[in-house]
Structure 1
């Protein structure tokens, strides 16, 4: 018998065998229906009631919440709102209705914000919902730079503050943010809280700050100046930074120089190395400026492919392994380090351009072993299906693409005869491609990325030379303008944005395959050197992966940092010719 029939019987009062009374409100019910959705009611009716009892009083919740729980027992659905979610969750937890508990937790997880994450985390300590508790706390750590200005942060206990700022997972670009947060917290109730300052300061990684900031902002602070213990911490941090003090290694035991974990890592996947394709995967840890080899050796090598990070998974699309031009797509789960096959594309594509827009993966152009392609297709992970979209206006192999303002942009490439200067955008709503302004030069093997409301085109090959030049497209004006050039020329490299900087990774410089990495600051229009990869390679693909619960597995181990010997004491510090 369907649940709707039972609900109709309940509403008509037919065959009901019990009455639930909450305060002065009575609900006629069928015991077996409530027992099915709650072990509490099963025990209540079986062991905690008298024989023949028909009326059952339940306290600790309102009649409105009881009505919702009974409705759920009969229909399997419940209307959760911002107004009722906390009261409903407490009631469902009390009566052990896991279906409603899950619905409420899912709702609260979706509502997490800078303003409520601390309150939700505090609330979860009163109920059995470990996943929501973890999600809320992770949200606090991940959005700490904004959370510190919320009213909830000011009302945290000193124990809560210590727990938060002591975590490696605390996401801050600058350690000065942590120092300023504790100053802000103390200022909310100075007489009551200033006695905790030394304990809080010991959790700040002072040696990660600049020497100038330590001297100008920390050492000069009145709370520091009036506390001998705090002054000693600052002096030790300055000694670590300048590498001049004795007994260096003992200072690092108190975490003054221990890097935080990154909230996101840049993955360099596959490529061409030493004359062969590679299956090597390296992760860039921006907090330590270092690469970590996270290859598991279980995946088939591929180069000239595309990658995409979507819904917590990494997709490797198309490519080439010297023997086969792939139409296959592989999905990598970074939590379990396992690979899975998903639906193949309609076309074989190496030199493919891949990007993500509105929950879909787009694969465009490329080379199938015979022809440069103008075709394009789109993958929906929910259905595990590819569908063809309108073809581009011309054949593009070895181009690059990105997304901005709900459009896909693809630039440059090679059409089989010449390197291309053209670029075009795709609108999913109309399924149409539109030409945009020409780049300032021809670019095949180019890197294209969206950042700061512009499309950046970096490096590549113009048919004669590997390029250092870079330019940016303003979609509002339909114009390109030149930027500072890279430190090194390169084509067929990886490109991604990490913490507001554009990283370019590896590639081919015209003579050798490279492992060097540099990044661009769009505010200063400057390129700077970053740590080299371990694997030299071109034809790789990069993606940025964020929010992993196992992020420590993709970062330099914090308990095994290399040692630098200074004046006899140990000090922890962070550390071929091929044609394309």
Structure 2
């Protein structure tokens, strides 16, 4: 769905109705004031309206009509003036001739609108709804806006909101701004920020943005880009689309790039050697502060960029990583750490209403975090707690049927599954699942094997679980659960037995990482593609051996967090890039801990509050992450 945002805007002044020009002028003035007060679209608050069926029956039969609308194509439509006036203040003013006191009421008016679109508006007036499609929305919304039929505007905005995609979001955003649809414009801008990388690849309208529109996007703290190289590539693509006319904007656009997060190698080879920069002294002057900053940083290996410097100001992450609980300094903890991937910094917080736990499960569902089961050093829990990151509050949820620590937890089909674990007496094969809308657990088909300290993941509509400990041996076996048939079946066993393993679905494959093989902690990993079957295959080894660690997907990479290396708990974090097939170091946590769990929430409305920009306290010369 493409939008022609260059078409001439429809206004009420263009409508040829039988009222004096001065009256039309007053009417326009009145509506402009109204639109400044309040956005008309309000897609969040939209609800279906039910109108009496008799209204449309009278319309279809042409009965009791007391007005006529003549359309652009000279088709006459009989209407009931009261009904049309009820949904449109504009038509009410025309029909009752409110601007010409003492004059007879109008019964026949002309509208410069095709009858097809007028009938859609009348569909709404008589039934409370009308059919909005990709083919008609671009014109239906302006016509509804022209006649102040707010219900149709809402229908159109709801439709466009559901149709937001990387290839059309720029057009919808500009369209919404053009017609004062404030809520749709706000959601459109949010979508652009969140999907910027895909927009660069898929949206033809990107190259047609104005300089002001592009600059507004690139300067945004909430622009969701994995690295600043993407920002430079974006401005480069835009400029080179019309180099002669856009060359003058390069110095301003270069200031949108946060060069402190770009490697000196890339800066020298891709930016300083870009021909428009080579040819223009003003561009070189604009880049001089970045040259000094990056040269100094490059000359001091191991030195971290000062994030308080404007050149290194981190953006607000779209995804926030939460690491909760775990075993640290000889006892379970209730600490929560959050990770800002744009700043590569961890922030520690104490949640007073959270009891210490380790060997628990953690997952996200509907932008809430669920903490399931676990162990506090003496008791094994069947309890469930739910954290709302927007209100920063924890709440109790229904308890499981069985206590479970070393539990495997996975979200599948909108439900939470708790698999196996240890109840203080035995390792379990039982499985139960949680319905969040009912706040209720139910038992389901048990696994084929008892598994404690295993790990589970959902992929391709099925649940997989691997490894674990059954009380006698460390397992290499793996099983898959089909929720439709409620049957478990074995798949190919892993190459190595693994307890305290982490299983994660990544790029259509299952990755089983680390763990304990019965003799030592492992830094090895292996992957399995369920679509292709076959054997598990080894993947690049991690830097650190670890078991009972946390694993998440963040920035399209696998992050492994903390764990036990065989002699001590560790704070170390590393990430695996599926493009390079390599592991990279990330900033360590503030605490050494194992038996923790972690999860990621995306698109939080209060993401800024978890970011470096909210938590950092500027200090001269400080280049260490401040504590919250």
The TM-score normalised by the length of structure 1 is: 0.87
Q: Where do residues 286-305 of structure 1 align in structure 2 (5 Å cutoff)?
A: 286-293=341-348, 295-305=350-360
The DSSP-based 3-state class of the residue aligned with 1:66 is helix
What is the distance in 2 between the residues matched to 1:363 and 1:506? Answer: 22
Shift of 1:124: 0.7
Shift of 1:147: 2.1
1:403 to 432, 436, 458: 458
Shift of 1:194: 0.8
What is the distance in 2 between the residues matched to 1:447 and 1:389? Answer: 23
Shift of 1:126: 2.2
Shift of 1:27: 3.7
Aligned to 1:306: 361
Aligned to 2:529: 474
Is the contact made by 1:206 and 1:234 (CA closer than 8 Å) also made in structure 2?
no
Is the contact made by 2:364 and 2:370 (CA closer than 8 Å) also made in structure 1?
yes
Is the contact made by 1:329 and 1:344 (CA closer than 8 Å) also made in structure 2?
yes
Residues 289 and 17 of structure 1: is their aligned pair in 2 closer, same or farther, counting only changes over 3 Å? same
Shift of 1:152: 0.6
What is the distance in 2 between the residues matched to 1:495 and 1:79? Answer: 46
CA deviations over 1:426-454 (Å, ceiling 9, x no partner): 22233222201112222222111112332
What is the distance in 1 between the residues matched to 2:80 and 2:620? Answer: 73
1:541 paired to 2:541: no
Is the contact made by 1:561 and 1:573 (CA closer than 8 Å) also made in structure 2?
no
Is the contact made by 2:359 and 2:596 (CA closer than 8 Å) also made in structure 1?
yes
1:515 to 564, 571, 581: 571
Aligned to 1:578: none
1:317 paired to 2:378: no
Is the contact made by 1:490 and 1:510 (CA closer than 8 Å) also made in structure 2?
yes
What is the distance in 2 between the residues matched to 1:441 and 1:87? Answer: 62
1:270 to 319, 325, 338: 325
Residues 42 and 405 of structure 1: is their aligned pair in 2 closer, same or farther, counting only changes over 3 Å? same
1:77 paired to 2:126: no
What is the distance in 1 between the residues matched to 2:76 and 2:360? Answer: 65
The DSSP-based 3-state class of the residue aligned with 1:164 is helix
Q: Where do residues 352-363 of structure 1 align in structure 2 (5 Å cutoff)?
A: 352-363=407-418
Aligned to 2:541: 485
What is the distance in 2 between the residues matched to 1:132 and 1:6? Answer: 31
What is the distance in 1 between the residues matched to 2:386 and 2:93? Answer: 45
The TM-score normalised by the length of structure 2 is: 0.81
Shift of 1:192: 1.3
The DSSP-based 3-state class of the residue aligned with 1:265 is strand
CA deviations over 1:378-408 (Å, ceiling 9, x no partner): 3444555544432211222221111222221
Shift of 1:82: 0.8
2:235 to 182, 186, 207: 182
Q: Relative to total residues, which structure has the larger strand share, 1 or 2?
A: 1
Shift of 1:153: 1.0
CA deviations over 1:354-397 (Å, ceiling 9, x no partner): 22234333322223344432222334445555444322112222
CA deviations over 1:23-71 (Å, ceiling 9, x no partner): 5432433725862x55656666678377873626374644333333333
Aligned to 1:166: 219
Residues 528 and 151 of structure 1: is their aligned pair in 2 closer, same or farther, counting only changes over 3 Å? closer
Aligned to 2:13: none
1:66 paired to 2:121: no
Residues 128 and 383 of structure 1: is their aligned pair in 2 closer, same or farther, counting only changes over 3 Å? farther
The DSSP-based 3-state class of the residue aligned with 2:321 is strand
Residues 303 and 210 of structure 1: is their aligned pair in 2 closer, same or farther, counting only changes over 3 Å? same
Is the contact made by 2:314 and 2:612 (CA closer than 8 Å) also made in structure 1?
no
Residues 518 and 359 of structure 1: is their aligned pair in 2 closer, same or farther, counting only changes over 3 Å? same
Shift of 1:78: 2.9
Tell me the number of residue pairs that the alignment of Structure 1 and Structure 2 aligns. Answer: 565
What is the distance in 2 between the residues matched to 1:491 and 1:559? Answer: 31
What is the distance in 1 between the residues matched to 2:113 and 2:274? Answer: 51
Shift of 1:83: 1.0
CA deviations over 1:293-349 (Å, ceiling 9, x no partner): 355534444332222223333333333445654444333333333334445444433
The DSSP-based 3-state class of the residue aligned with 2:473 is coil
What is the distance in 1 between the residues matched to 2:439 and 2:114? Answer: 45
Aligned to 2:60: 11
The DSSP-based 3-state class of the residue aligned with 1:200 is helix
What is the distance in 2 between the residues matched to 1:295 and 1:39? Answer: 55
What is the distance in 2 between the residues matched to 1:361 and 1:445? Answer: 20
Aligned to 1:194: 247
Is the contact made by 1:564 and 1:573 (CA closer than 8 Å) also made in structure 2?
no
Shift of 1:14: 5.2
Aligned to 1:26: 77
The DSSP-based 3-state class of the residue aligned with 2:570 is strand
What is the distance in 1 between the residues matched to 2:97 and 2:372? Answer: 59
What is the distance in 1 between the residues matched to 2:593 and 2:141? Answer: 53
Deviates more, 1:264-273 or 1:63-72: 63-72
2:288 to 227, 235, 247: 235
Is the contact made by 1:20 and 1:26 (CA closer than 8 Å) also made in structure 2?
yes
Note the residue ranges of structure 1 that are not aligned, 5 or more in a row. 246-250, 566-570, 576-580
1:330 paired to 2:377: no
Shift of 1:79: 2.1
CA deviations over 1:468-516 (Å, ceiling 9, x no partner): 2222223213311233433333222110122232211122233333322
